[in-house]
Structure formats: structure tokens, C-alpha cells
Amino acid sequence: MCIDCLKGQPGIYSARWAKKYGNFYKAGKKILELVRKKNKNKKQKNMKAKFICSLTLCYEKNKLITTVGAIEGKISECQLGKNGFGYDPIFIPKGSLKTFGQMSKKKKILMDHRYLAFKKMKLKINTL
């Protein structure tokens, strides 16, 4: 998860943040606190965030295929929903009013950054 007003944090360290703060729920609370602090006294709040997944497949002695899946959205005002995992309860994908934590697993997976990266990877593998 990369959050604009936190200069891209937690980024590739998302899981480490969860460990540092005790778990993903506590890390989510910390993120909400930091986002509120960064946006304090601002007319226009910057709540932009995105999930990114990068995949690389190595085949035939060092030939590589790399794909990236990303989903843009924003940070919610509070943790909402008990579905999913990780930072799902604080992320609202673009075009939705619900967090990933409030969505059904099926709906979330079809727009998920990992799904998008794997879908691209499958297309590239099928053209080999």
C-alpha cells in the first residue's frame, strides 16, 4: 500500500509496519492517525492511496517476464469491514463507496492488484 500524503509509505514495507505495530489492525490505526495528522487544517485532504503488486517470472535460463497490477483509491476515515486481510478495512478503491474490508471476497478479488498482475502474467505466458 502506497499513500500519497505519507510519501508512498508504507510501500514495500507494508507487512513490516504490521509487525512493528503488532498486527495489521494496529498498523491500520497508525496509518489513519498519520494521514489525519498530515491533512490537519488543510481545506483539501489528500487521502489518495494505491495497492501495487509486481510479479516476475524467470524461465529458460534467465529470461524474465514482469507484470504490475495496481488499484488506485483512497484511505477511509476509519477502519470499516471485517472481510479480507491486511489493510483492506482502510482502503476504498476508486469508484467504490466501500472499503475492501466491506466487500465480498469475490467482488474484491476481481479488482485486486494481485489479480490484475496475475491476469497480465497469464496473458504474457500464453504468448510465449
Domains of the chain: 2-126 (3.90.950.10)
Whether the predicted pLDDT of 128 surpasses 90: no
Q: Summarize the confidence of residues 121-128 as an average pLDDT.
A: 94
Is 100 buried (19+), middle (13-18) or exposed (0-12) by CB count in 10 A? buried
The confidence band for 13, taking pLDDT boundaries of 50, 70 and 90, is very high
pLDDT in tens, 35-88: 999 999 999 999 999 999 999 999 999 999 999 999 999 999 999 999 989 999
- Across the chain, what does the average pLDDT equal? 96
Query: Is residue 55 a contact partner of residue 121, using CB atoms and an 8 Å limit?
Result: yes
pLDDT at 116: 97
Q: Higher-confidence residue: 23 or 128?
A: 23
17: left (phi over 0), alpha (psi -120 to 50) or beta: alpha
Would you say residue 25 has pLDDT above 90? yes
CA distance 24 to 38: 21
